[in-house]
Amino acid sequence: MKVSISDPAKLDLANIIAYLIGLNRRAADKLSALFEEKIASLALFPERGVRRPALSKNARVLMVETYLVIYQIELDRVLVLRVLDGRMDIEAEFIE
């Protein structure tokens, strides 16, 4: 199955990595690679994430360290909707 990343999720990822680069380049590179690996794994195991119907009827969440990769399974692809810090008010942030 194909994995697509929405524009808001791309922006989320860019902001997370940019912030970490300012703190620790090595940690930012490591987390970036981990995001790539985990998101790519959804192509083979799209149902591995926990369902989160409070976010959206078909929303699922995959944990990557303290971050939540929020996605949905569509007919021919997995669409990553957002990537948010799990310590945030996810429902408020996701709906905005």
Binning pLDDT at 50, 70 and 90, where does residue 13 land? very high
- Over the stretch 40-96, which tens digit does the pLDDT of each residue have? 999 999 999 999 988 888 999 999 999 999 999 999 999 999 999 988 888 777 665
pLDDT at 32: 97
How far apart, in Å, are the Cα atoms of 47 and each of 30, 60, 65, 72, 83? 25, 8, 19, 9, 17
Mean of all residue pLDDT scores within the chain: 93
Binning pLDDT at 50, 70 and 90, where does residue 33 land? very high
Number of neighbours of residue 50 by Cβ within 10 angstroms: 11
Query: What is the value of pTM for the model shown?
Result: 0.92
Question: Which domains can be identified in the chain, with CATH numbers?
Answer: 2-95 (3.30.2310.20)
Amino acid residing at 42: L
